[in-house]
Amino acid sequence: MRIVPRHSFDFSFSWILQWIVISEEKKNRLICKARKSFADSCGVSDALFFDSARSAFSWLLECLKFPSGSAFILPEYDFFIYRAILRQLGYRVIDCPVRSTDLQMDCEKLDGLIDGDTRAIIVCNLHSRCTDMLRLREIADRHNLLVIQDNVQSFGTLYRGVPLPVYGDYALYSFGTGKHLPCFGGGALVAASGRFDTENYETLRTGPRYKGVFSGLAEWLFTRRLVYAVAVFPVFFLLNLFCRDFLEKVFFEKQSGFCLPVPAKMPDFKLYLLGLRLEGYVSERLSRAELAEALKKGLTEAGIDLPEENPDMVPDYLFLQLQADEGLSRKLMLRGVDCRHDFCGFSSGRTPALSSLYLPLYAAMTFEDIAAVIRAAS
């Protein structure tokens, strides 16, 4: 049995039963409450919900309507999906070097990369860590560039006492398996100031949708609230639980043959799950932070060097990232610790994913689990 299981978070099928018996009016109230609670948690005034973060990103690019050939600056160490989407839409990607201490974008290298075609900087706040956001904002404002934050693994992270999205123009979030607020899929796009023009959003279908991989039957299954909750969602739940994120593996494990997402809305049932997750989030966050501190302390005492922390940042730990070699990874896995070098494709830039190791942290873990991880690493 693995000490740090991949799917160590609570899910109750009573939530499906509750969804079945409550009235449509109450369902709508719960969904509206979830939307507002999420926006408030991000420190923003508005949030839109999509079938995935990549779907939200595609929709944002459609709305921005940048001309073909426009350039986007991304850190060398990031999620390959955004690069794939940009290139398929005819945009140019510029790599920004990352700091060796924490694999975050090196803002001091940005000025030399910006040219007349540059439209935005996409910063990947990986594993609840971030770069120097004030410096990034200052550079972006000076060059009249947008700042788009990839916060799919940084929900709850604070920078100088406020949520990360406040320092950007837009931010992307994910509710996939293993994320901070797991709803077995879904994503969000938030705006730091003002509100979205929702005219285009309201015309979207409910997903997931990929070119050539959607049908009228799928549309019917995803939009009927009761059918989705009792038939479609359990299938996704079991696939994720027993097939190690089977759908992610099918569509996104390989960077080649990427299937461009068509913007689509998040199903209502997942929004309902998001509201339930947000209700218990504070206690889970405190628990996870305490576990992370214990693990950091134990690994340091075991002689394992951890990346430096940004002193302005208060991370909400989902993963603990450390510099490591393959030998340590094999050692931990053989001793029952779930860890990985490459989590869902963070290897698109020149900095290889093998340069760091991730240890997932879940609220369901105990301090005995932490002690076992430290013993395995020693």
Query: Does a structural domain hold residue 138?
Result: yes
Mean pLDDT of 69-88: 87
Domain limits at 348? 281-377
Q: State the Cα–Cα distance between residues 107 and 100, nearest whole angstrom.
A: 13
- 120, two tokens: 């935005």
CATH number for the domain that contains residue 314: 3.90.1150.10
Same domain flag for 19 and 165: yes
Same domain flag for 195 and 79: yes
- 173, two tokens: 């979030």
CATH number for the domain that contains residue 99: 3.40.640.10
Among 9-18, 59-68, 222-231, 365-374, top mean pLDDT goes to 59-68
Question: What pLDDT is stored for residue 256 in this prediction?
Answer: 42
- 139 closest CA partner among 178, 102, 168: 168
Q: State the Cα–Cα distance between residues 75 and 348, nearest whole angstrom.
A: 10
pLDDT of 190 strictly over 70: yes
Query: Does a structural domain hold residue 8?
Result: no
pTM: 0.85
Q: State the Cα–Cα distance between residues 195 and 108, nearest whole angstrom.
A: 32
Contact 289, 316 (CB under 8 A): yes
Confidence of residue 349 (pLDDT cuts 50, 70, 90): very low
Q: Please tell me the total number of residues recorded for the chain in this structure.
A: 378
Query: Does a structural domain hold residue 7?
Result: no
Q: State the Cα–Cα distance between residues 154 and 151, nearest whole angstrom.
A: 5
CA 218 to chain centre: 25
Tell me which of 260 and 235 has the higher pLDDT.
235
Mean pLDDT of 321-340: 71
Confidence of residue 354 (pLDDT cuts 50, 70, 90): very low
287-314 pLDDT, tens digit each: 777 888 888 888 888 887 776 677 787 7
Tell me which of 341 and 205 has the higher pLDDT.
205
Same domain flag for 262 and 317: no
pLDDT of 171 strictly over 90: yes
Among 131-145, 203-217, 363-377, top mean pLDDT goes to 131-145
Strands of the 313-314 sheet, one edge to the other: 162-163, 158-159, 313-314
Same domain flag for 186 and 320: no
- 41, two tokens: 């948690």
111-161 pLDDT, tens digit each: 999 999 999 999 988 777 788 999 999 999 999 999 999 998 888 888 988
Contact 260, 88 (CB under 8 A): yes
Same domain flag for 107 and 220: yes
Same domain flag for 261 and 195: yes
Query: Does a structural domain hold residue 46?
Result: yes
Same domain flag for 340 and 294: yes
Mean pLDDT of 171-179: 85
Query: Does a structural domain hold residue 55?
Result: yes
Confidence of residue 57 (pLDDT cuts 50, 70, 90): very high
Mean confidence (pLDDT) of the chain = 79
31 sits in the region (left: phi over 0; alpha: psi -120 to 50; else beta) called alpha
Q: What is residue 166's DSSP assignment? A: G
Same domain flag for 207 and 107: yes
Same domain flag for 295 and 329: yes
Question: What pLDDT is stored for residue 330 in this prediction?
Answer: 77
Q: State the Cα–Cα distance between residues 40 and 316, nearest whole angstrom.
A: 16
Could you say which of 279, 301, 322 is where a domain stops?
A: 279
Question: What pLDDT is stored for residue 347 in this prediction?
Answer: 45
Q: How many domains does the chain have?
A: 2
Spatial CB neighbours of 262, under 8 Å, sequence gap ≥ 6: 55, 58, 207, 209, 210, 211, 214
Amino acid at 221: L
pLDDT of 9 strictly over 70: no
% of the chain exceeding 90 in pLDDT = 27
Mean pLDDT of 26-32: 90
DSSP 238-303: HHHHHTTSHHHHHHHS-STT--PBPP-BPPHHHHHHHHHHHHTHHHHHHHHHHHHHHHHHHHHHTT
Phi, psi of 82, deg, nearest 5: -65, -40
Mean pLDDT of 39-49: 91
Phi, psi of 260, deg, nearest 5: -65, 125
Question: What pLDDT is stored for residue 136 in this prediction?
Answer: 96
Same domain flag for 267 and 333: no
Query: Does a structural domain hold residue 2?
Result: no
Per DSSP, the chain holds a count of helices (H) and strands (E) of: 14, 12
Query: Is residue 206 classed as helix, strand or coil in its secondary structure?
Result: strand
Query: Does a structural domain hold residue 35?
Result: yes
Same domain flag for 100 and 249: yes
Question: What pLDDT is stored for residue 98 in this prediction?
Answer: 84
Could you say which of 279, 305, 329 is where a domain stops?
A: 279
Query: Does a structural domain hold residue 214?
Result: yes
Could you say which of 248, 279, 310 is where a domain stops?
A: 279
Same domain flag for 272 and 301: no
Tell me which of 120 and 263 has the higher pLDDT.
120
Contact 179, 318 (CB under 8 A): yes
